[in-house]
């Protein structure tokens, strides 16, 4: 029997994941405040839900991919939140990059209604999401993942990592993002050095690649590092500004986790505050907006 699943939040990443799931052996419903985003997934075979609550009433599993902690909580327990509509045994997978405590809080609230919530943090970008090839870091609830939840996670992930208990998958994702943005910062700083001293940046890249220190994500980022400043305007500039905003959010979360556990990480804060420079974005005069 085909499983009925729902997806809430079909922006860039959520839309790519939901679009993939729409082509798999599931009955998929989607909900988002952006009608155009919903329509794009419906065109791939999904059905549109009238609300998150309506979706939750008829789905065995619900995936959530929204921008931040506040919206995750609103989707779950806000006005027309999904939790009231979930039947016992429903599973909720949180893909948004949020504080591990947010996932734990949702899991505790869900358990009161015999609903199982867990974190399934995702990495790999939309180009992997729309092929079901993400890295997925899962916080495993007591008793393990029920079959439908496991089937959804396995369908979206080229590699699935059982990180530990609920919350551990999100902690792993925050750490993953720290590694990613630090590599970007290193590539950007290295490029500035070689260009400043009239060395060949492509030879630096080749040397880095030769000894195996250049990962594919860092190599992809190299095109951003070498892009002329004037090319980072218009639509491209808006895209990069959005990406920088996500980086700053994720690195701020990492810094917060460090402070909360008595291990402050000033180097994380430095990279967080330097992402405009890392991306080589033109300096914006605040007086000009």
Residue 274 sits in the same domain as residue 214: yes
pLDDT at position 285? 52
What is the pTM for the complete model shown? 0.92
**Is the pLDDT assigned to residue 187 strictly greater than 70?**
yes
Other C-beta atoms lying within 10 Å of the C-beta of residue 110? 22
- Cα distances (Å, whole numbers) of residue 10 to 40, 65, 123, 247: 9, 7, 16, 20
Nearest to 153 by CA among 165, 164, 145, 143: 145
Residue 144 sits in the same domain as residue 50: yes
- Cα distances (Å, whole numbers) of residue 193 to 2, 54, 201, 250, 256: 56, 56, 9, 27, 31
Residue 141 sits in the same domain as residue 242: no
Distance (Å, whole) CA 53 – CA 244: 33
Distance (Å, whole) CA 34 – CA 46: 15
Residue 129 sits in the same domain as residue 36: yes
Reported as a single tens digit per residue, the pLDDT across 138-178 is: 999 999 999 999 999 999 999 999 999 999 999 999 999 99
**Is the pLDDT assigned to residue 282 strictly greater than 90?**
no
Query: Residue 166, SS3?
Result: coil
- The set of residues, in sequence order, having a beta carbon less than 8 Å from that of 9 and lying 6+ positions away, is 32, 64, 65, 66, 67, 75, 96
Residue 158 sits in the same domain as residue 207: no
Q: What is the DSSP pairing of strand 61-64 with strand 134-140?
A: unpaired
Residue 74, strand partner residues: none
Residue 181 sits in the same domain as residue 281: yes
Residue 28 sits in the same domain as residue 89: yes
Which domain-ending residue is among 165, 193, 215? 165
Q: In what order do the strands lie in the sheet with 116-123?
A: 47-48, 26-31, 3-8, 61-64, 91-94, 116-123, 134-140, 157-165
Q: What is the DSSP pairing of strand 3-8 with strand 61-64?
A: parallel
pLDDT at position 286? 47
Which structural domain range is residue 69 located in? 3-165
Give ∠ CA 26-27-29 in degrees, rounded to 5: 120
Residue 203 sits in the same domain as residue 106: no
Residue 104 sits in the same domain as residue 211: no
pLDDT at position 255? 97
Q: CATH no. for residue 43?
A: 3.40.50.720
Share of the chain above pLDDT 70, in %: 97
pLDDT at position 215? 84
Q: CATH no. for residue 240?
A: 1.10.1040
Reported as a single tens digit per residue, the pLDDT across 240-280 is: 999 999 999 999 999 999 999 999 999 999 999 999 999 99
Distance (Å, whole) CA 183 – CA 120: 24
The number of domains in the chain is 2
Residue with tokens 């549109």: 48
Residue 100 sits in the same domain as residue 177: no
């Amino acid at each position: 029997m085909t499983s009925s699943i729902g997806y809430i939040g079909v922006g860039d990443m959520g839309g790519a994941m939901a679009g993939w799931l729409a082509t798999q052996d599931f009955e998929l419903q989607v909900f988002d405040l952006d009608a155009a985003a919903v329509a794009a997934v419906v065109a791939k075979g999904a059905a549109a839900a009238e609300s998150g609550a309506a979706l939750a009433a008829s789905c065995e599993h619900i995936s959530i991919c929204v921008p931040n902690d506040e919206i995750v909580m609103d989707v779950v327990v806000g006005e027309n939140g999904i939790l009231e509509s979930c039947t016992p045994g429903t599973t909720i997978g949180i893909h948004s990059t949020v504080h591990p405590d947010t996932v734990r809080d949702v899991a505790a609230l869900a358990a009161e209604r015999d609903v199982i919530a867990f974190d399934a943090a995702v990495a790999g970008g939309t180009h992997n999401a729309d092929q079901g090839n993400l890295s997925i870091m899962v916080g495993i609830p007591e008793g393990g993942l029920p079959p439908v939840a496991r089937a959804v996670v396995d369908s979206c992930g080229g590699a699935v990592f059982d990180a530990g208990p609920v919350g551990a998958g999100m902690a792993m994702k925050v750490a993953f993002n720290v590694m990613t943005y630090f590599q970007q910062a290193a590539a950007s700083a290295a490029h500035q050095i070689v260009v400043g001293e009239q060395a060949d940046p492509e030879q630096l890249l080749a040397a880095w690649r030769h000894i195996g220190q250049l990962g594919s994500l860092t190599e992809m980022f190299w095109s951003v590092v070498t892009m002329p400043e004037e090319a980072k305007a218009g639509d491209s500039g808006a895209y990069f500004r959005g990406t920088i905003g996500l980086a700053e959010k994720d690195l701020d979360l990492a810094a917060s986790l460090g402070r909360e556990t008595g291990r402050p990480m000033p180097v994380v804060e430095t990279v967080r505050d330097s992402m405009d420079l890392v991306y080589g974005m033109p300096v914006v005069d605040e007086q000009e907006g």
